[in-house]
């Protein structure tokens, strides 16, 4: 097990293990649980090598005035690369104004052969989402990464399971796939969805949700909460604060009957839901969550691939890595304090990454030797950290030599 500590807001990981007595492990575990750090329950999502493939846009379907569903055709020969579990996401890659831009989008349909669909909501001033909204058309070809992520249900096939989802805005996307999958897998499973938006016109998948309700009238419940419009029920009108959340849970969701929870929305809402659920006695292991951003407005996207000059007389650290069975090695100046990802991209442009911000988990690798500090972690689960996995976009070497393996 990797040695793991947290101080001054940074994660310090080293391997091979230092003396890990039970108390150290217990404290490390408690620290990890006390901060925001990825979905908290273990899932059975397949881990495959993240790889881009060029796919053709089959359809672009408007969902609201500022969101679209984009469906890509998956040819037979790539079917295995695009198998996925409900709740997983893909990264899209495009060249915008001469610069490569990558963004993650959750798959919004239950898995089926022949296509994958994402839903993109335009972020005002956002580069990729604005481009997709205005420029992406059926017949276009763009790069789509094989699906990744662990925001998946451990109980999807369990008879009688009651799964609850709380989503805001575009956070509905993975929950659409999860709800449809859970309801289809077993005739006795239930899904309760609380979905908040500003106005009725902002509700993505309004018709699809109504169709799901028609199809599963007794097993699917959807509660729309509107923050800027009055609904007939006062409980469902207004911003979700702690009081409203507790009211909704008590009256409409009944937490004692729920086996698994899925939260997807802005940082503040997800945090409020996690805290409230913990407070009413829901086991954190039954609550899974996904963030689309770290919630820091105006934060520049970290520039993976940032140029670094290695001068001859400068002290350096060595990063050795394995990717697709091939070894690579790169030196990084101590003074640059660059991430493993940034350094590795200098010698292998195909090193996997998407957000470069510690959110999506695409850049995950296992620390085989040496030590690192990890700045942010919004993606890795506790058990992955215990097993020595790091987000290479956030990991900065602290030993002279660091060895990571992207293949395990
Ligand atoms: C795992 C995962 C799944 C996701 N799934 C979905 C999904 O299903 N649907 C979906 O719509 N999104 C999803 N996202 C979010 C998505 O990846 C993008 O982050 C989102 O579309 C915005 O990208 P953009 O390029 O349009 O915006 P960006 O250009 O990255 O900008 C983001 C925001 O920051 C602001 N901004 C940028 N630069 C500055 C600056 N210098 N100063 C001030 N403000 C600035 C922009 O105005 C904008 O509001 C997901 C993210 C993750 C990590
Ligand atoms: S690339 Fe998204 S977490 Fe590192």
Q: Give the domain CATH number at 125.
A: 2.40.30.10
Residue with the larger pLDDT of the pair 298 and 350 = 350
Mean pLDDT value across residues 54-67: 98
Same domain, 173 and 279: yes
Same domain, 332 and 389: yes
> Minimum-distance ligand to the CA of 344?
2
**Whole-number average pLDDT of the chain:** 88
Write phi, then psi, for 106 (nearest 5 degrees).
-75, 150
Q: What is the CATH number of the domain that holds 397?
A: 3.10.20.30
The sheet that has 260-264: what strands, in order across it? 220-226, 190-197, 162-168, 260-264, 287-290
Give how many domains the chain has, as a whole number: 3
- Cα of 197 vs centre of ligand 1, distance in Å, is 17
Q: Which two tokens stand for residue 181?
A: 């999958």
Confidence at 17, pLDDT banded by 50, 70, 90: very low
> Minimum-distance ligand to the CA of 298?
1
Q: Is residue 219 part of a domain?
A: yes
Confidence at 343, pLDDT banded by 50, 70, 90: very high
Q: Which tens digit of pLDDT belongs to each residue from 145-168?
A: 999 998 999 877 778 999 999 999
Same domain, 190 and 287: yes
For ligand 1, atom 7, name the residue with the nearest CA.
105
Cα distances from 339 to residues 96, 183, 364, in angstroms, run: 24, 42, 12
Of 145, 164, 195, which one is at a domain's C-terminal end? 145
Is any atom of ligand 2 closer than 6 Å to the C-beta of 391? yes
Is any atom of ligand 1 closer than 6 Å to the C-beta of 287? no
Q: Which tens digit of pLDDT belongs to each residue from 213-238?
A: 999 999 999 999 999 999 989 999 99
> How far is the C-alpha of 262 from the C-alpha of 108, rounded, in Å?
14
Give the percent of the chain with pLDDT over 70.
86
Put simply, whether the predicted model's pTM sits higher than 0.85 gets the answer yes
- Cα of 357 vs centre of ligand 2, distance in Å, is 5
Of 99, 121, 145, which one is at a domain's C-terminal end? 145
Beta bridge partner(s), residue 320: 329, 403
For ligand 1, atom 5, name the residue with the nearest CA.
105
Same domain, 168 and 233: yes
Same domain, 187 and 269: yes
Q: Is residue 34 part of a domain?
A: no
Print burial letters for 88-121: b (CB count within 10 Å at least 16), e (below 16): bbbbbbbeeeeeeebbbbbbbbbbeeeebbbbbb
- Cα of 354 vs centre of ligand 2, distance in Å, is 6
**Cβ distance 4 to 18 under 8 Å?**
no
Of 145, 165, 183, which one is at a domain's C-terminal end? 145
Write phi, then psi, for 254 (nearest 5 degrees).
60, 75
For ligand 1, atom 10, name the residue with the nearest CA.
120
Domain limits at 11?
3-23+304-405
Least confident of 17-26, 38-47, 88-97, 143-152: 17-26
Same domain, 166 and 268: yes
Q: CB neighbours of 288 closer than 8 A, spacing ≥ 6? A: 39, 40, 41, 43, 151, 152, 153, 260, 261, 262, 263
| Residue positions counted in the chain | 408
Write phi, then psi, for 232 (nearest 5 degrees).
-65, -35
Same domain, 259 and 356: no
Is any atom of ligand 1 closer than 6 Å to the C-beta of 63? no
Q: What is the CATH number of the domain that holds 242?
A: 3.40.50.80
Residue 84 has pLDDT above 70, yes or no: yes
């Amino acid at each position: 097990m990797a040695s793991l500590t947290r101080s001054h807001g940074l994660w310090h990981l080293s391997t091979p293990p230092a003396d890990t007595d039970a108390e150290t492990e217990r404290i490390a575990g408690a620290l990890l649980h006390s901060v925001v750090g990825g979905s908290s329950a273990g899932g059975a999502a397949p881990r495959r090598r993240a790889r881009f493939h060029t796919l053709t846009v089959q359809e672009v379907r408007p969902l609201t005035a500022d969101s679209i569903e984009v469906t890509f055709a998956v040819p037979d020969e790539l079917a295995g690369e695009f198998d996925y579990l409900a709740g997983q996401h893909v990264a899209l890659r495009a060249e915008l104004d001469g610069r490569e831009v990558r963004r993650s989008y959750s798959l919004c349909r239950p898995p089926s052969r022949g296509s994958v669909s994402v839903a993109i909501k335009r972020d005002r001033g956002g580069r990729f989402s604005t481009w997709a909204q205005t420029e992406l058309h059926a017949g276009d070809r763009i790069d789509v990464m094989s699906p990744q992520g662990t925001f998946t249900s451990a109980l999807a096939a369990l008879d009688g399971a009651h799964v609850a989802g709380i989503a805001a805005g575009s956070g509905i996307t993975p929950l659409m796939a999860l709800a449809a999958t859970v309801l289809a897998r077993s005739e006795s499973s239930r899904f309760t969805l609380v979905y908040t938006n500003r106005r009725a016109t902002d509700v993505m998948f309004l018709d699809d949700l109504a169709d799901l309700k028609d199809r599963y009238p007794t097993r699917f419940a959807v509660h729309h909460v509107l923050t800027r419009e009055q609904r007939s029920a006062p409980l469902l009108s207004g911003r979700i604060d702690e009081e409203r959340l507790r009211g909704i849970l008590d009256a409409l969701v009944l937490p004692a009957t729920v086996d698994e929870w899925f939260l997807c929305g802005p940082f503040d809402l997800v945090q409020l839901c996690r805290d409230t659920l913990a407070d009413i006695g829901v086991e954190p292991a039954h609550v899974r969550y996904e963030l689309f951003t770290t919630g820091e407005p105006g934060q520049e996207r970290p520039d993976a691939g940032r140029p670094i000059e290695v001068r001859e007389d400068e002290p350096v650290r060595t990063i050795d890595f394995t990717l697709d069975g091939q070894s690579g090695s790169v030196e990084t100046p101590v003074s640059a304090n660059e991430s493993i990802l940034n350094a590795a991209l200098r010698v292998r442009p195909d090193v996997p990454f998407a957000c470069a911000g510690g959110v999506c988990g695409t850049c995950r690798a296992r620390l085989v030797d040496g030590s690192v500090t990890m700045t942010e972690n919004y993606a890795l689960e506790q058990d992955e950290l215990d097993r020595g996995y790091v987000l290479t976009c956030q990991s900065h070497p602290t030993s002279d030599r660091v060895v990571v393996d992207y293949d395990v």
